[in-house]
Amino acid sequence: MQHTFSSAGDLTVVPYPGSEPRLLRLGGGVETAYEYRDGGGYRPTGAVTALADAVERSGLRGRGGAGFPFAVKVNSVRAGSPAGAGAPAGRPETVVVANGEEGEPASFKDRWLLRNRPHLVLDGLRLAAALVSARRGYLYVSDPEAEQSVRAALDELGGTVRGGPELAVVRVDPGYVAGEETAAVQAINGGRAVPTDKPPRPYEAGVAGLPTLVSNVETLANLPFLDRWGADAYRAAGTALSPGTFLATVTSANRAPVLYELPYGLPVTDLLALHGIPADSVRGALVGGYFTGLLDHTFTGLTLDHETLRRAGSGLGCGALALLTEECPVGVAAAVLNYFDRENAGQCGSCFNGTAAMAAATTALTEGRAAEDDVERLRRWSTVLRGRGACGTLDAACNTAASLLDRFPQEVAAHLGNHCPDCAGGTATDRAPYRVETEALL
């Protein structure tokens, strides 16, 4: 069972066989407010304590990259609210932000939700606002089609969700760092969409200086299911520590990207069978997007949950899985590091110079121009630069360099001798299969 998204037919949407999708929708076109309500959406808000209990017991984890427990975020914002400190009556005590700025090049799940199921996201934002007693909410996006879809959905509702907060849509230019939570807050406050120093964190002082819940749109899209069916139903899929389902953007050579809804804990071999790729043809993968770096062929023996991938030295992140079959891992690492070099915010010297240096070293390696001392410098940089940037970009670059050297030593050695047939045609780019070509999906 599958549904082809977009008129160009470039993104296929597939739920896991035999399971009822919670987040995907297999009908054509954008879901209307009538269709969403007819399917049980926009239920009257019940007791917030019951919803909070369901969220706590569900074990819902963030889908933006870190996999942070959603209940902890909610409780942190509630604890930071000035309500208990004599706040004036009527003052907006907290703020909620639906973060749909999907800066990860290998992912398309958030844009799909915003473009195709905007009411599911709006309903989730309404419920999140109820959890933290927020009177103001924002939808933070960079995709023009997502913005258009959300604004059209709000027009259907007369400008706001009944019983929900006052809503505004903020669109920024896309960028790898623009989706970081402090970047979102700064952009909504009228500044540049780049990360700021921490503390304070948004839950302490965010939009307009108020405690702010910043949550990924896929995370919020799970709340209507939880509100309607409860924690036990939510936990019916997934594992004890990674419960529920998640959206996975899967890319591979010479294939259009596919958006799957999968249960956590699914064996990678099952996903490969569903995707139509033999496990023995997979030489590695970028798992969770660009941040965690590369895994080698042992990836095929893992399961897709936070704990297993963390033990393997990787992470599920935003659910983006780029399967490497024909590509040289050295060329892939060079392309990713060149991407980080272009996309860093330019605020930290260690990141500005460090990403450039690692990109140059891996590019030279790809082209057969590097020597042993270049590899040793790359290894040293991947260690000493870690943790020295204001956001995760430099750490992501370090992860890419370190994982290449640790997991693909034979390929690195082949490049030192300029004996890699995969890279004979020239330096790799950061395009397919480990980048979703957004323009092709418009």
Look at residues 174, 207, 234 and tell me which one is the last residue of a structural domain.
234
The answer to the question of residue 442 being in a domain is no
Residues 114, 230, single domain; the answer is yes
Helix axes 118-132, 144-156, angle to 10 degrees: 70
Residues 51, 173, single domain; the answer is yes
What is d(CA 101, CA 45) in angstroms, rounded to the nearest whole number?
Answer: 27
The answer to the question of residue 427 being in a domain is no
pLDDT at 180: 93
* Residues forming beta bridges with residue 97, ordered by sequence position: 138, 214
Look at residues 172, 200, 234 and tell me which one is the last residue of a structural domain.
234
The answer to the question of residue 37 being in a domain is yes
pTM score, whole prediction = 0.92
The answer to the question of residue 125 being in a domain is yes
User: Per residue in 349-373, pLDDT tens?
Assistant: 999 999 999 999 999 999 889 999 9
Residues 334, 229, single domain; the answer is no
What is d(CA 144, CA 121) in angstroms, rounded to the nearest whole number?
Answer: 16
The answer to the question of residue 324 being in a domain is no
Look at residues 234, 263, 287 and tell me which one is the last residue of a structural domain.
234
The answer to the question of residue 141 being in a domain is yes
Count of CB atoms situated within 10 Å of the CB of 406:
15
What is d(CA 181, CA 101) in angstroms, rounded to the nearest whole number?
Answer: 10
pLDDT band of 143, cuts 50, 70, 90? very high
Report the CATH number that the domain containing residue 229 is assigned in CATH: 3.40.50.11540
Residues 224, 364, single domain; the answer is no
Examine the pLDDT at 75 and tell me if it is beyond 80: yes
Residues 38, 157, single domain; the answer is yes
| Amino acid identity at 41 | G
Report the CATH number that the domain containing residue 376 is assigned in CATH: 1.20.1440.230
* Residues forming beta bridges with residue 14, ordered by sequence position: 260
Q: What is the CA radius of gyration of the chain?
A: 22
User: Per residue in 229-249, pLDDT tens?
Assistant: 999 999 999 999 999 999 999
What is d(CA 140, CA 167) in angstroms, rounded to the nearest whole number?
Answer: 11
Examine the pLDDT at 141 and tell me if it is beyond 80: yes
Q: Which range of residues forms the domain containing residue 355?
A: 329-419
pLDDT at 79: 85
Examine the pLDDT at 133 and tell me if it is beyond 80: yes
Which residue did the predictor score with more confidence, 112 or 424?
112
pLDDT at 435: 74
In the chain, helix, strand, coil percent, each to 5?
45, 15, 40
Number of independent structural domains in the chain: 2
